[in-house]
Amino acid sequence: MRWFWIDRFIEFESGRRATAVKNVSLSEDHLHDHFPGAPLMPNALVIEGLAQTGGLLAAEHGGFVERVVLAKVAKARFHFSATPGDTLTYRTTIEDINASGAVVSGTSSVGERLQAEVQLFFAHLGEDVAGKWLFDPASLLAMVQLLGVYDVGRDAEGNPLKVPEELASNS
């Protein structure tokens, strides 16, 4: 089972930056356990939402050919807790990307209030390390379409993003 910690993308500029939103709802099961009587979204799940936003940005930059996994949370600072009714806006920027991985900085905010700041390291895994079973192309394509990447996505010249051959041919 996959968990999505993003509701939709509202901006996606290939190789540069992405913005996504997450509506924190009292109907989410994890809020009833963390903490009973005073629900809040665990900070680890805010990091995961930022990692999904930045990880898809890094993976799309390479046409989804490389397997991109979160390798390290280098920095995470939280200014307040997210609670039901909040809409988190995740903003991620690729600081560096190369053959071995990517460095992504990100913020989470509620309205104009900065909620969290992170720096994330992603690793690019070869086919020999991470078989295709970890990243089923059809499921990945369905996920990025559901999240609206191709609805709002633009390349460096401002043209709409197209589904990369790697995903289209394997779906």
* Angle ∠(141,116,142) on CA atoms, nearest 5: 10
**CB 18 within 8 Å of CB 9:** yes
Q: Determine whether 34 is an active site residue.
A: yes
Q: What is the DSSP letter of 160?
A: B
- DSSP codes joined into one string, 24-87: --TTSTHHHHSSTTS--B-HHHHHHHHHHHHHHHHHHHTTT-SEEEEEEEEEEEESS-B-TT-E
Catalytic member of 34, 61, 79, 124: 34
The three state secondary structure string of 12-39 is EECCCEEEEEEECCCCCCHHHHCCCCCC
Asked if the peptide bond before residue 35 counts as cis, ω within 30 degrees of 0, the response is yes
Q: Which two tokens stand for residue 46?
A: 């805010």
Task: Provide the residue type at 110 as one letter.
Answer: V
User: Which residues are part of the catalytic machinery?
Assistant: 34
